Chain A
Amino acid sequence: MHHQIDSLAYTNQLRSLPPSHKVGFAIALFILGFVSPMGVQGAIALWLAIWIILYAGIPAKIYGQLLLIPLTFWLLSVPALILGVSFSGNVNPVDIAWGSRYFYLSQQGITQAQTVLMRAIALSSCLYFVLLTTPFADILNLLKAWRFPTIIIELLALMYRFIFVLTDTVLELVTAQKSRLGYRNRRSQFRSLGIIISQLLWRTLENYRACSLGLISRGFNGELRFWSDRQYQANPRYMVEAIAGYFVLLLLAIFPYVDKL
């Protein structure tokens, strides 16, 4: 429940780059990663690891932990992808029989699992690059510039602010319960959690009442508008590397097709 990614995004070394550059770079790689062969996907993942760890200064350990998340999901689905069940008898000699069923390793499944793994790693890297280098306030400003519906931007901004307030509340409540011997067994776990959720809803509405007064007292007129003069500095060195690197990857991606022609 600690919002580590957000605090890294706000302190990382690429924070002052224009968010449109960072997001644009990630989207371009994203599209490339979606359609390119596995080798290029691997190259994208490695290159972005350099950006994230070396240029942005995100601790390698934390980035590794983040990459474990897609990996875990992949591991979880691997059996479903590559294990086949057949009721029609031996497909090939290595199958294992269990009653009338035959389990086998599906060649198609193994290929699929490999493709999915590489794609997931490459695309997750692109997503993480944005998450770890661009603070949420910058993303919101970008969405504003891209003319997303106002109501969505307002809701995102409010949710962002109050997720932190409510998380603090929950953490305090859980700590208080633990200090009074809560969560000792399953029964007390259920009871304590029931209380937490109910209290959380109650406090959510308490916050609503207090904050709406706060908004009104500063002249709320139906819209939540804010102003900011955040300045960004484009970095030529990074721009050159991004563009040059992207072209190399693009060539590598289309090379096999050119060959076929």
Chain B
Amino acid sequence: MNKKSRRLSLLAMAGLSLYWVIGAARPAQAMHIMEGFLPVGWAVFWWMVALPFFVWGVRSLAQITQQNPNLKLLLGLAGAFSFVLSALKIPSVTGSCSHPTGTGLGAVLFGPGVMTVLGSLVLVFQSVLLAHGGITTLGANAFSMAIVGPWVAWGVYRLFESRQQHKIGIFLAAALGNFVTYLVTSIQLALAFPAATGGVMASFGKFAGIFALTQVPLAISEGLLTILVWNWLQAYAQPELQTLKSIKGQEVVQS
């Protein structure tokens, strides 16, 4: 009996590992908590946390576009750009392919406040057009992807920019923007599903550990790729970067 159940347990774990390997083969949207995953309490909680940021972002956008209505079009296009960017497949350093978050590049190009709104709308389109993520989990996903990610990326970029280390700044902004998104998602899952022994911390360790294998190499890839893009933009797209300053510049004036 003892031996039998021990074997059963081993078998179950082997099966689980297999599941996980299969799952890891398509980690495409691992960073979006799927519809229905969070219990009611946590779904509502994250909505409540994300909403003030979103409302603040929308209000500042409304003010910007009132002064310069043409920027609506620019914002709509910037949002479409962010969506298409996040739907690209990038090679990860481990060999698999996955999607970038684009929060780092977006935050640096459009500013973190604008990215909060655009990122949330991108999440809406990801669920509408690609069936990734969901409505109840939109609050939680927006908090990690459209709020924490862009602000961390922006902060890191500004820190290094002030020290004239643009390239390191861009790399870290993109890589950390991606990495932090994943950390926050792991925390959110851990809070919703604390382990029986060890509680939230143990659970966080498990979720973070599982996603780390796919996400850390991906964060590095996104950082490297963003440097390539940034070099190109600096060399050949100065007028375009000036155009984008029109949304960022006004946002700074607002805040």
Per-residue CB contact flags for chain A residues 173-203 toward chain B (1 = under 8 Å, else 0) read 0000000000000100111011111101110
Q: What's the minimum C-beta distance from A201 to chain B, rounded to whole angstroms?
A: 6
Question: Cβ of B75 and Cβ of A155 under 8 Å apart?
Answer: yes
Question: Cβ of B79 and Cβ of A167 under 8 Å apart?
Answer: no
Interface size class on chain A is 35 or more
Which 5 pairs of residues, A with B, have the shortest CB-CB distance? A158-B76, A194-B228, A123-B36, A162-B80, A222-B69
Which chain A residues border B173 with CB–CB below 8 Å?
none
Per-residue CB contact flags for chain B residues 74-98 toward chain A (1 = under 8 Å, else 0) read 1111111101110110110000000
Do A86 and B197 form a contact, CB below 8 Å, given A204-B80, A208-B243? yes
Number of interface residues of B (CB under 8 A): 92
Q: What's the minimum C-beta distance from A96 to chain B, rounded to whole angstroms?
A: 7
Q: Please tell me if A72 contacts chain B, counting CB pairs below 8 Å.
A: yes
Q: Which of B12-20, B160-168, B176-184 contacts A (4 or more CB under 8 A)?
A: B12-20
Which chain A residues border B90 with CB–CB below 8 Å?
193
Which chain B residues border A155 with CB–CB below 8 Å?
61, 72, 75-76, 79, 117-118, 121
Q: Please tell me if A60 contacts chain B, counting CB pairs below 8 Å.
A: no
Specify the chain A residue showing the minimal Cβ separation from B68.
A222
CB contact list, B116-152 vs A, under 8 A: 117-118, 121-122, 124-125, 127-132, 134-136
C-alpha spacing A170/B76, complex, angstroms:
17
Question: Cβ of A73 and Cβ of B74 under 8 Å apart?
Answer: no
Q: Please tell me if B56 contacts chain A, counting CB pairs below 8 Å.
A: no
Question: Cβ of A34 and Cβ of B206 under 8 Å apart?
Answer: no
Which chain A residues border B131 with CB–CB below 8 Å?
5, 66, 69, 127-128, 131
Q: Please tell me if B51 contacts chain A, counting CB pairs below 8 Å.
A: no
Q: Which residues of A contact B (CB under 8 A)?
A: 1, 3, 5-6, 30, 33-35, 66, 69-70, 72-86, 88, 91, 93-96, 103-109, 112, 116, 119-124, 127-128, 131, 136, 139, 149, 151-152, 154-163, 165-167, 170, 186, 189-191, 193-198, 200-202, 204-205, 207-208, 211-212, 215, 220-224
Write 18 A-B pairs (CB below 8 A) sorted by A numbering.
Answer: A3-B129, A66-B131, A79-B20, A83-B13, A105-B9, A116-B37, A119-B37, A120-B36, A156-B124, A162-B79, A163-B84, A189-B91, A190-B224, A193-B90, A197-B229, A198-B233, A205-B243, A224-B72
Q: What's the minimum C-beta distance from A40 to chain B, rounded to whole angstroms?
A: 14
Specify the chain B residue showing the minimal Cβ separation from A119.
B36
Do A96 and B228 form a contact, CB below 8 Å, given A72-B26, A196-B88, A212-B70? no
Question: Cβ of A215 and Cβ of B197 under 8 Å apart?
Answer: no
Among candidates B16, B17, B129, B237, residue contacting A202 with C-beta atoms closer than 8 Å: B237
CB contact list, B172-229 vs A, under 8 A: 189, 193, 195-198, 202-203, 206-207, 209-211, 224-225, 228-229
Specify the chain A residue showing the minimal Cβ separation from B93.
A186
Q: What's the minimum C-beta distance from B144 to chain A, rounded to whole angstroms?
A: 15
Question: Cβ of A106 and Cβ of B195 under 8 Å apart?
Answer: yes
Question: Cβ of A151 and Cβ of B72 under 8 Å apart?
Answer: yes
Q: Please tell me if B232 contacts chain A, counting CB pairs below 8 Å.
A: yes
Which chain B residues border A151 with CB–CB below 8 Å?
58, 61-62, 65, 72
Question: Cβ of A212 and Cβ of B237 under 8 Å apart?
Answer: no
Q: What's the minimum C-beta distance from A5 to chain B, rounded to whole angstroms?
A: 6
Question: Cβ of A163 and Cβ of B34 under 8 Å apart?
Answer: no
Which chain B residues border A119 with CB–CB below 8 Å?
36-37, 39
Among candidates B72, B189, B195, B228, residue contacting A109 with C-beta atoms closer than 8 Å: B195
Question: Cβ of A158 and Cβ of B79 under 8 Å apart?
Answer: yes
Question: Cβ of B195 and Cβ of A75 under 8 Å apart?
Answer: no
Question: Cβ of A201 and Cβ of B34 under 8 Å apart?
Answer: no
Question: Cβ of B229 and Cβ of A159 under 8 Å apart?
Answer: no
Do A124 and B34 form a contact, CB below 8 Å, given A159-B121, A196-B88? yes
Which chain A residues border B62 with CB–CB below 8 Å?
149, 151
Question: Cβ of A120 and Cβ of B58 under 8 Å apart?
Answer: no
Do A78 and B19 form a contact, CB below 8 Å, given A186-B91, A208-B74? yes
Which chain A residues border B58 with CB–CB below 8 Å?
149, 151-152
Which chain A residues border B135 with CB–CB below 8 Å?
30, 127
Which chain A residues border B69 with CB–CB below 8 Å?
220-223
**17 more CB-based (< 8 A) A-B contacts, given A34-B36, A201-B240, A212-B74:** A73-B30, A77-B37, A80-B207, A80-B210, A84-B202, A94-B6, A94-B8, A105-B12, A105-B13, A127-B127, A131-B131, A162-B77, A162-B80, A163-B83, A194-B229, A194-B232, A197-B229
Specify the chain B residue showing the minimal Cβ separation from A116.
B37
Which chain A residues border B244 with CB–CB below 8 Å?
205
Which chain B residues border A158 with CB–CB below 8 Å?
72-73, 75-77, 79-80
